[in-house]
Amino acid sequence: MKYYIAVYEKLREIYLSQGAMENDLPMICPSLRMYENEDLELLKPASLLNDEQKKTESILKKQNISYELNSVPISAYFWDLNVNTALFDIYRDILDHSNIRDFEQNFMRISVSSSTVLNDAKNADTKEYKNYKKYRIAYDSALEKITDHLSTFEDLTTDEEKMNWKDQFLSMNNLKELAMSEWKVRGSKDFIEKELTRINANSDADLYLAMSRDAKFSFDSAERTDINTFSAIHDINFIPYDFMENESGWNSLKLNKQEMETLYLAAKNSNQNLSAEILSIDYDENGIESIEVDYSFVHLKRSWFNKNFMLSPFFEWKESKPISDGVTISDGFKLPAITKTMMLIKNLKIILDSSVSSTDVNDPNKLIFFGPMIMKQQLFINKNNNERFLKVVTDKKMLQSDQLSYLSKKATPQTVNIRIPGKRPQIFESTTGDPVIPVFNTIKVDRMKMGTVLTSRQTFNVGSPLQVEPRRPVTPLPNPVEPIVPKTIPTNIKLISAIFVPLNLPIFQHLSNVTFRIIDNKNNEPVYKCNISIIGTNSNNESNRIFNIESDQSGSISQNLPIGDYNISFRIDEYAVLEAKFNVPNTNPLTLEYKLQRKQIQFKSFFLIGMICEKMPKIPAT
């Protein structure tokens, strides 16, 4: 874990050296957060998507990823996914429970009475103002019906139901457009709103009203409009906007062993936004000579979010939980900070020294980790300089597979010591044959969840998208457990692991050397660097394994596999994904050939190693 921390520490230093803002708060992401190219592309505003199919997909799929990237931090020591602290849910509550509505109503009583356009000689609404209200209500009603209709889409199962749903939606959308037209023509919409703008542009109170209205209107519009922008609260404008398509904003970084040791010690000594649990996990990473990686700082911009109205002296908040104090990051505050910038890495390569043998790398009874990231069980050699290196697994489907979760749990368990006041020490049985040691309410964390600080009732399903829905009430998380002060950790406990983690499973007995040959279906040319993911489908322990390898320059690669059935998939840029099944009937050598079809697809994967958060100022300001 320490070299993973070292890479984060280097990126933190680079970001801060580039002129960070005073309230910027870099935080490490200690669990596996991987996004594929299409995941992040779906978060773009619909106006930036040229493909109509992608526009439709974005409406239905981007919600899960948006919940992740909009998770408000509740710890000063790390950032991670928390669906209970989504920014849009918190922002909605602030808009609904602040004094905006009351302030607007009271202010309008005074403003309307002074306008001859809105108020007649008898101190009543003018005909134009009455019509404005009438047709605005009709338009709001049309929007409400569309919103209710959209919420029924996920319950549809048949194509006929979906077709009927679409026809109903088109009819409702036409009625909404008609309501807007009537509001403009018969309701004097532009005329009345021009007058409202005029009378609300004279004082600080007017400015607060304008800002709060703008914030509420932007958010309401994102929630209640037609299907193309219904999910606009999940839209994110990325800067640089094209980091997914090309190398814009990307930089290369290489760290040798000495640099990483220095960086890790700097992080450990400063203890800035790193919990004691993470820092206390000591890996045996002696086999790593250096790290190569590409990195980018990608800024997140949300068109609907505006904090300025909350800074006005007219803003009031009377709920029991304060919004923020400008200092503390915890779940004791409604909105202590927001996510601002992703610290992304890609093309990770771990350069190995001569002490690591190819047998260690290719051992099917081990898993290879770099922090929370899983590496391919295949040794690669750079022919130009003879560097021996590992590559990271970038197949999201494999990372989410049941087999990988199963194997991670069977790997030598890691322990995170969390002292909970008032609780007696618990003793857990050792699965490795080592002496049993007492720990304080220890939570055993598998390597897929490595580094995540967990409370006794909080678990993150690492790498898997969560099925969540907006607008549902959520139960607040329990108060987080205070991080351990190093001196409270018993001195006889040392959390040690290697990047090569043995599996607690029977050794393979019956193996076949299977050769996979991948060629282009048009010209029969070999396909180099094709990513091959193999997942066993039998129930027995021996063949229920995973393998992630790449084809060589001849388009071939061999792997020893137990007898059994397997699913296999092939992914490489410029080719369509190919998925198939195969069987290893006996221990005889087996050669399998697969043909890939060319298609304009780019498979890019990005790992979130840290998040730059922006601390909110003290709100309310008074």
Order the strands of the 590-596 sheet from edge to edge: 556-562, 511-520, 590-596
Lowest mean pLDDT among 214-218, 314-318, 383-387: 214-218
Report how far residue 518's alpha carbon sits from residue 215's, in angstroms, rounded to the nearest whole number. Answer: 54
Write out pLDDT tens, residues 255-286.
998 898 888 888 888 766 677 767 766 666 77
d(CA 551, CA 390): 14
Structure tokens that stand for 95 in this block: 């808009």
DSSP 412: P
**Cβ of 568: how many Cβ atoms within 10 Å?**
18
Better pLDDT: 160 or 440 = 160
Decide if pLDDT at 226 tops 60. Answer: no
- Rounded distance, CA 238 to CA 299, Å? 6
108-112, 362-366, 562-566: least confident range = 108-112
Contact 361, 549 (CB under 8 A): no
- Mean pLDDT score, 421-425: 37
The residue behind tokens 């290196």 is 389
Q: How confident is the model at residue 22 (pLDDT cuts 50, 70, 90)?
A: confident
pLDDT value of residue 494: 35
Domains of the chain listed by start with CATH number? 511-596 (2.60.40.1120)
CA dihedral of 545, 546, 552, 554, whole degrees rounded to 10: 60
Cα separation, 325 vs 471, whole angstroms: 26
- Confidence band (pLDDT; 50, 70, 90) for 474? very low
pLDDT of residue 465: 35
Residue 104 is predicted with a pLDDT of 66
Sorted by sequence, the CB contacts under 8 Å of residue 193 that are 6+ apart come out as none
CA torsion 363-368-374-380 (nearest 10°) is: -70
Task: Give the model confidence (pLDDT) of 510-536 as tens digits.
Answer: 889 999 999 999 899 999 999 999 988
Q: What is the mean pLDDT of residues 182-206?
A: 78
595 or 488: which leads in pLDDT: 595
What's residue 412's pLDDT? Answer: 58
Lowest-pLDDT range of 134-143, 199-208, 309-318, 394-403: 199-208
Please name the residue that has the structure tokens 């596999």.
561
* Closest by CA position to 604, among listed 341, 256, 248: 248
pLDDT of residue 442: 30
Q: Integer distance in angstroms from the first to the last C-alpha of the chain?
A: 43
Listed ranges 155-164, 208-217, 323-332, 381-390; the one with the highest mean pLDDT: 323-332
pLDDT at 116 over 80: no
How sure is the predictor about 580, in pLDDT bands with cuts at 50, 70 and 90?
A: very high
Residue count (the chain): 622
* Per-residue pLDDT, 461: 34
pLDDT for the residue 622: 66
Q: What percent of the chain has pLDDT over 90?
A: 22
E-assigned strands of 215-273?
237-239, 251-256
What residue has token string 């606009």?
Answer: 232
What number is the average pLDDT over the span 379-385? 86
* Per-residue model confidence as pLDDT tens digits over 37-80: 888 887 877 666 666 666 666 666 677 788 888 999 988 888 98
Q: Are 104 and 213 in contact (CB under 8 A)?
A: yes
Mean residue pLDDT of the chain comes to 77
CA quadruple 398, 399, 402, 405: dihedral sign? positive
- Supply the Cα-derived Rg of the chain in whole angstroms: 28
Q: Tell the burial category of 65 from Cβ atoms under 10 Å away from its Cβ (0-12, 13-18, 19+).
A: buried
So what's the pLDDT on residue 581? Answer: 94
Question: What's the confidence (pLDDT) of residue 589?
Answer: 94
185 vs 154: CA distance, rounded Å: 37
Of residues 432 and 609, more confidence is placed in 609
pLDDT for 582-598, tens place per residue? Answer: 999 999 999 999 999 98
What single DSSP character describes residue 305?
A: -
Contact between residue 255 and residue 263 where contact means Cβ atoms under 8 Å apart: yes
Amino acid at 481: V
Please indicate, yes or no, whether the overall pTM of this predicted structure exceeds 0.75. no
Of 103-117, 473-487, 540-554, minimum mean pLDDT range: 473-487
